[in-house]
Amino acid sequence: MSVVDTIKEQIESNDILLYMKGTPRFPQCGFSSRASEAIMSCGARFAFVNILESPEIRAELPKYANWPTFPQLWVKGELIGGCDIIAEMAANGELKELIDTVVVEDDAAE
């Protein structure tokens, strides 16, 4: 499986996915820390990929996403953005709304 295929599978398999440096409990950069905290504050479970442990994904994802930086938040297969966008959406309530919509859809599907 190619790196791009792996990325596509990760995005398709996880309704809420954060590509970040480190992990939500042990972020390895301030931007990843702020992004994961904002998502965690919404109260939903989310998947993450530590790009520091995956140099191939770290190299390919910016080209695939046409987004040069990390973290990257993907929701339902759509790139939402990086730290600044995530923080802005969290501050104005849009992030919780978006994540709550995904959680409601998942609950309805079960």
Which residue ranges make up the annotated binding site for [2Fe-2S] cluster?
Answer: 29
| Residues placed in the known binding site for glutathione | 21, 58, 70, 83-84
86, 71 contact by CB (below 8 A)? yes
Angle at 102 between CA 43 and CA 76, to 5 degrees: 120
Over its C-alpha atoms, the chain yields an Rg (Å, rounded) of 13
